[in-house]
Amino acid sequence: RDQLVPALTAASGIFEPSVGDDAWVTRDQPIARVMVPFDASVREEVLSPCSGKVFFMHADPLIYADTIAFWIVPNEVFVDRKT
């Protein structure tokens, strides 16, 4: 767990991921949206904190603020294993 990087939400609402678990992502790539339940407007866009591979993705349709939406394995972990 020391090598995993969390992607947290700042807002609560309907969770709509745009990538799945096991996907490769880049830093600052949009990976999910948090939407207002009443009108489906976007409350927050969750960005990837680093480049790497998605290890875990929040599965429930609703999410709270300050919740880990994704765990990402950084690219550096894969580079270190090859050497």
Strand, coil or helix: what is 77?
Answer: helix
DSSP 8-53: E-SS-EEEEESS-TT-EE-TT-EEEEEE-TTT--EEEEEE-SSSEE
pLDDT digits (tens, 9 = 90+) for 13-63: 999 999 998 999 999 999 999 999 999 999 999 999 999 999 999 999 999
Spatial CA neighbour of 19 closest among 9, 29, 28: 29
| pLDDT tops 90 at residue 6 | yes
pLDDT of residue 74: 95
